[in-house]
Amino acid sequence: GSASAAKRFADFNGLPLPYLRVDPEGRLHAALGLHAGPAWSWPKWVPDVVLEVLLSSLPGGIPSPDSGFELREVADAWLRYLAMCAGVAAPGTLPEILRGYLGDRSAPERLRPDEVVTAGFVQIGPGVGPVSIGPISYENAWAEEAGYQRPVELATVRLKNMVEALGNWDEYVSNPTQIARRGATFIFEEPSGECIYEYR
């Protein structure tokens, strides 16, 4: 993304801006050998009009002629991204998705007790309950529990982040060909610079 995307991301997540770096072309991801989905491309026999219909239904839409991005390279990026969401060439994705719904007693809470997440007609909170889906409302059995990552809690955090990203897509995504780049976490010891933890 861009510098403005980094600022918006920092504001949304409460992260100190000086700790963020912008890499619009994904060079750091490539240098670290991070996952970028399967090396798939749309077959040549799939006509451009089909890709245009597909992209018109996705965030960012069809790349404009003056964007500098080709229709097929953006469509290929979406193909790889959606495959990763389904767990293809994305190690650990499906177990992590399940953990988000089932909870994890070894992980800390992710939502403040007063936090409310709203996504269209869905409202969750404060905390992990009550839940309203349109006219239907219910209370999670674990809503009063604390001290661990409760069922659906991580999924709710992901929903909050997804609503932010999709609702501000054009600000966050300056290069749609890079959407399949998967992040990683590295923790370094100071002052030695030794990597003491990594998750790819």
CB-based burial of residue 170 (10 Å sphere; 0-12 exposed, 13-18 middle, 19+ buried)?
exposed
Closest residue by Cα to residue 124 from 95, 153, 164: 153
- As given in the structure block, the two tokens for residue 195 are 């990597």
The pLDDT value given to residue 156: 92
pLDDT digits (tens, 9 = 90+) for 130-185: 999 999 999 999 988 999 999 999 999 999 999 999 999 999 999 999 999 888 88
Which of these, 7, 41, 31, lies nearest to 21 by C-alpha position?
7
CA distance 3 to 146: 37
pTM of the model as a whole: 0.84
| Low-confidence spans in the chain with pLDDT less than 50 | none
Write down the pLDDT at residue 182: 82
Q: By C-alpha distance, which of 158, 172, 164, 180 is closest to 60? A: 172
The reported pLDDT for the residue numbered 196 is 93
At residue 20, the pLDDT reads: 84
